[in-house]
Amino acid sequence: VSLFNAGPAKLPRPVLLKLQKELLDYNGLGYSIMELSHRSAAYARLNADTEQMLRESMSIPCSHAILFMHGGGTGQFSAIPLNFMETKGRTTAEHGVETRTADYVVTGLWSSKAAQEAKKFGHINMVCPVPEKFTYVPEPATWAPSIDASYLYYCANETIHGVEFPEVPTPPTPHAPLVADISSNFLSRPMDVSKLGLAFAGAQKNAGCAGLTIVIVQRELLGRCDPRCPVVLDYGIVEKHSSVYNTPPVWSLFVFNQVLKWIQETGGLPAMEAMNKAKSKRIFDAIDQSGGFYSSAVEDKWRSRMNIPFRVGGPNGSQELETAFLTGAEARGMVGLKGHRSMGGIRASLYNAVTEDEVFLLSSYMEEFMSANR
C-alpha cells in the first residue's frame, strides 16, 4: 500500500522494522521500550541523544532550547499566548484597559484556529488581510505588525490548504519574535530556526507518531509565563526539568529518535529537501500539464511541497470524476488521497517517508486517469 495521508502519516519502512524489534526487547534490556521508566538512565540517554540529533540535523543554536511536550499542535495554540503574551497598555472592548497583544498571520485553517484560541488570552492583531480562499500569503513586506505585540505568529505550512512559506518571512521592522507552526513541514527542508523565537511541531507527520510535540524556543523568551498557565504547558518548567517534569510519551520519543537516525543516514535535511522538491515537482507537473483537467488553486510561489490539494475535472472539481479517481487510486494501492472534509477534492501528502517510486505511481495514475476520462 502507498500511503498519502496528511497525518498521522507514513513512516519510513526501515524505521518500522526497527520499532518492531525494540517493541519486544529494548537495547537488549529484555523488556519493551514501552515499559521503560522515564526516570531510568536508559531514558535519560534516549532523551539527550534525540535532542542532540535534532540540534545537529537542524543546526539549532544553543541560544534555543529543545522541549519535548504533550498536547499536539493544538496544545501549543494555548501554550504560546500563555507563555509569551505580556501585559502592555492598550484598551479594547474585549479585554479592557490593560491588555496583552499578539500579531497573527492567517493563511489557512490551522493559523486561523491558533488565532481563535489566542483570542481567549488577549488582543489579536491581524498583520495582513485574511485571504478569502487561502491560496496565497500576503507579501511579508506589506504586513503591519503592531508596536505592542508580544510575538508574531504564522503557520509555515498549511496542511489543509497546501500553502507553504518557502523560507522564514521577514516582516517590516521593528517586530516581535516570530513564532512558527512547523507541524507539517518540520524536517522536510533546512530551516533557519535562529530567526525564530519559537517553532513547534506535532510528531505525527515527518517525525514519527502522535503523542509528542517538539518545541524549539529561544531561551531568552522563557520565564515570562502567565502564572495561571497549566504546568505541563509552561516552557520554563519543561525546560528546567529536561522535558521529564511529568511522564513523557516514551514510545513517541523513541519513534522520533529512530526517524532522526533514518534522516541522518539518508543524507540529512539537504537530502530530504532534494527528494521533496523532486516529488512535489512531479505532481505539480502532472497538474500543470493537464490542460485544466487537474487544477491547483495555490499561487506558484506559495505551493507546498508537503501537501498538494487539487481538483479533478475543472477548478471546482467534478464530484463524479473525483470519486472515480479515488476509487481507481485505492484499487492500485494508493490510499489517503481524499481531500480534507472542508475542501473536498484530492490531497496528496508527500512527507519524507513517501518514496519517489510511490509518487511516480501516483503521477502515472494521474496521466492514465486523464487519458481515460477527459
Residue positions annotated with a catalytic role: 110, 181, 205
Q: Does residue 7 bind ligand PLP (CB under 6 A)?
A: yes
If you search the block for the grid coordinates 485544466, which residue do you land on?
292
Q: Does 72 bind ligand PLP (CB under 6 A)?
A: yes
Number of residues this chain uses to bind ligand PLP (CB under 6 A): 11
Among 101, 135, 159, 243, binds ligand PLP (CB under 6 A): 159
- What track of x and - describes contact with ligand PLP for positions 103 through 122 (by CB under 6 A)? -------x------------
Q: Which residue's CB is nearer to ligand PLP, number 36 or number 69?
A: 69
How far the first Cα of the chain sits from its last, in Å, is 27
Kindly indicate which of the ranges 11-19, 71-79, 162-170, 222-230 contains the residues binding ligand PLP, using the contact rule CB under 6 A.
Answer: 71-79
Measured from the CB atom, is 110 or 365 closer to ligand PLP?
A: 110
Binding test (CB under 6 A) with ligand PLP, winner from 81, 169, 197, 202 = 202
Dihedral sign from CA coordinates of 168, 171, 174, 178:
negative
Closest approach, Cβ 183 to ligand PLP, in A, equals 4
Q: Which stretch binds ligand PLP (CB under 6 A): 59-67, 68-76, 78-86, 364-372?
A: 68-76
| 177 phi/psi in degrees, rounded to 5 | -55, 140
Tell me the closest approach of the beta carbon of residue 324 to ligand PLP, in angstroms: 27
Task: State the minimum distance, in angstroms, from the CB of residue 97 to ligand PLP.
Answer: 33
Query: What SS3 class is residue 7?
Result: coil
- Which DSSP string corresponds to 231-287? GGG-HHHHHHTTT-SS---HHHHHHHHHHHHHHHHTTHHHHHHHHHHHHHHHHHHHH
3 beta partners: 335
CB-count burial class (<10 Å; 0-12, 13-18, 19+) for 38: middle
The interface mask with ligand PLP, positions 15-54, x = CB under 6 A, is ----------------------------------------
Write out the three cell numbers for 26: 529494548
Based on the shown chain and the rule CB under 6 A, indicate whether residue 188 belongs to the binding site for ligand PLP.
no
Q: How many degrees, rounded to 5, is the angle at CA 67 between CA 234 and CA 151?
A: 60
Contact indicator for 334, 256 with CB cutoff of 8 Å: no
Q: Whole-number minimum distance, CB 208 to ligand PLP, in Å?
A: 12
Of residues 7 and 248, the one with the C-beta less far from ligand PLP: 7
Q: Are strands 198-202 and 213-218 parallel, antiparallel or unpaired?
A: antiparallel
How many alpha carbons fall within 13 Å on the CB side of residue 148?
A: 13
List, in order, residues 6 or more apart from 212 with CB less than 8 Å away.
68, 69, 70, 202, 203, 248, 249, 252, 253, 255, 256
Q: How far is the CB of 45 from ligand PLP (least distance, A)?
A: 27
Residue 314 DSSP symbol: S
* Cβ 187 vs Cβ 272: under 8 Å: yes
- Name the residue number minimizing CB distance to ligand PLP: 72
* Least distance CB 74 / ligand PLP (angstroms): 3
Give yes or no for residue 177 binding ligand PLP (CB under 6 A).
no
Q: Would you list the DSSP string of 190-214?
A: ---GGG-SEEEEETTTTSS-TT-EE
∠ CA 344-347-352, rounded to 5°: 155
Within 10 angstroms of residue 235's Cβ, the number of other Cβ atoms is 25
Question: Which listed range, 91-99, 177-185, 273-281, 292-300, lies at the site for ligand PLP (CB under 6 A)?
Answer: 177-185
Residue choice 19, 105, 155, 212 for contact with ligand PLP (CB under 6 A): 155
Q: Is 203 in the site for ligand PLP (CB under 6 A)?
A: no
Among the candidate windows 10-18, 58-66, 67-75, 164-172, which touches ligand PLP by CB under 6 A?
Answer: 67-75
| 181 near ligand PLP, rule: CB under 6 A | yes
Please give the residue ranges that form the binding site for ligand PLP (CB under 6 A): 7, 72-74, 110, 155, 159, 181, 183-184, 202
